[in-house]
Amino acid sequence: MEGSTTAQAETGSDEDFIRANTVLSAPPLLPELRLHLGGDPLELWRRTQERLGDQSPGMPFWAFAWAGGQALARYLLDTPEAVQGKRVLDLGAGSGVAGLAALRSGCIGVTATEIDPLAAVAIRLNAAANRLPSPEIREDVTFALEDFELVVAGDVCYEEPTASTLLGIMEAAATRGVEALTGDPERRFFPNDRFEALKTYELPVMEDLESRETSRTTVWRMRR
Ligand SMILES: C[S@@+](CC[C@H](N)C(=O)[O-])C[C@H]1O[C@@H](n2cnc3c(N)ncnc32)[C@H](O)[C@@H]1O
């Protein structure tokens, strides 16, 4: 049964592929949001590579709500005054978790950046599943920072190129006086001397992804 669903998804649309390989469910820290979330990361990675071939950017990050993204989203849901009336830029959006929380808390709109084509599809599906407007999704990171009043980035410091590109944008925003927030469990490339801590959460995480059962994850504001 499962095999036939998968075979159909491999020839169907990206939406079919995502629906067939995920379960619409709430991440542990975010009972008010539903996301298309994956199970076994290695198996999903293999299926993604089969589907996208050379186009595959690697790990299907979009199928998981990472510790940093969950903490950031929890903070935005509990602190609506941080987003209300603001245009939000969500860098390295993945499933869209942080931007969707900002929309739920009443921001004006969200632009999400992603380099993974399947993530763009997942973000649209996740927005629809929560009856939220879809973020505008962009692959490039050359845009006018003056179009935004808040920049958020969930869990983007796990590898050097991503961290340096996305932190560079946050720094440019902070220099212009725009608030830049990240959620990060102090990953290898997180420069904590450039941030101040706002709130720390202890949350359950997938052992297959994190090699542990819980993560202590902080929401940080970039120093100006
Ligand atoms: C660990 S995931 C975090 C996803 C989501 N923010 C969360 O916290 O659940 C990092 C994401 O950054 C994306 N990414 C990496 N480099 C990027 C870049 N230069 N521009 C935009 N997105 C990027 C990856 O595709 C991935 O989806």
Could you read off the pLDDT of 133-167 as tens digits, one per residue?
Answer: 999 999 976 668 889 999 999 999 999 999 999 99
**Would the CB of 158 count as within 6 Å of ligand 1?**
yes
- Whole-angstrom distance, CA of residue 55 vs CA of residue 195: 34
pLDDT of amino acid 174: 95
Burial of 190 per CB tally in 10 Å (0-12, 13-18, 19+): buried
User: Exposure string (b/e) for 108-127, b if CB count within 10 Å is 16 or more?
Assistant: ebbbbbbebbbbbbbbbbbb
Write the single-letter amino acid at 111.
T
Instruction: Please give the DSSP secondary-structure letter assigned to residue 62.
Output: G
Whether the CB-CB separation of 19 and 6 falls below 8 Å is answered with: no
- Whole-angstrom distance, CA of residue 18 vs CA of residue 38: 9
**Would the CB of 114 count as within 6 Å of ligand 1?**
yes
pLDDT of amino acid 11: 67
Q: What is the mean pLDDT of the chain?
A: 93
Domain housing 185 = 65-222
- 100 and 170 belong to one structural domain: yes
- Residue 66 Cα, ligand 1 centroid: separation in angstroms? 10
pLDDT band at 170 (very low <50, low <70, confident <90, very high): very high
- 144 and 216 belong to one structural domain: yes
pLDDT above 60: residue 1? no
**Would the CB of 165 count as within 6 Å of ligand 1?**
yes
- 179 and 87 belong to one structural domain: yes
- Whole-angstrom distance, CA of residue 8 vs CA of residue 82: 43
Helices (H), 132-218: 160-175, 207-210
Boundary of a domain, candidates 16, 32, 62: 62
**Would the CB of 156 count as within 6 Å of ligand 1?**
yes
Dig out the tokens for 194 from the structure.
């450039």
Q: Find the mean pLDDT for residues 103-128.
A: 97
**Would the CB of 145 count as within 6 Å of ligand 1?**
no
Could you read off the pLDDT of 6-60 as tens digits, one per residue?
Answer: 444 456 999 999 999 999 999 999 999 999 999 999 999 999 999 988 777 789 9
pLDDT above 80: residue 203? yes
Number of domains in the chain: 2
- 147 and 213 belong to one structural domain: yes
- 143 and 161 belong to one structural domain: yes
Boundary of a domain, candidates 62, 81, 103: 62
Lowest mean pLDDT among 40-44, 51-55, 175-179, 198-202: 51-55
- 114 and 169 belong to one structural domain: yes
- 82 and 145 belong to one structural domain: yes
Q: Find the mean pLDDT for residues 88-113.
A: 98
**Would the CB of 185 count as within 6 Å of ligand 1?**
no
Instruction: Enter the pTM of the model.
Output: 0.94
- 44 and 150 belong to one structural domain: no
Domain at 122, CATH number:
3.40.50.150
Q: Ligand 1 test: best mutation among 70, 114, 189, 210, most atoms within 8 Å of CB?
A: 114
pLDDT above 50: residue 80? yes
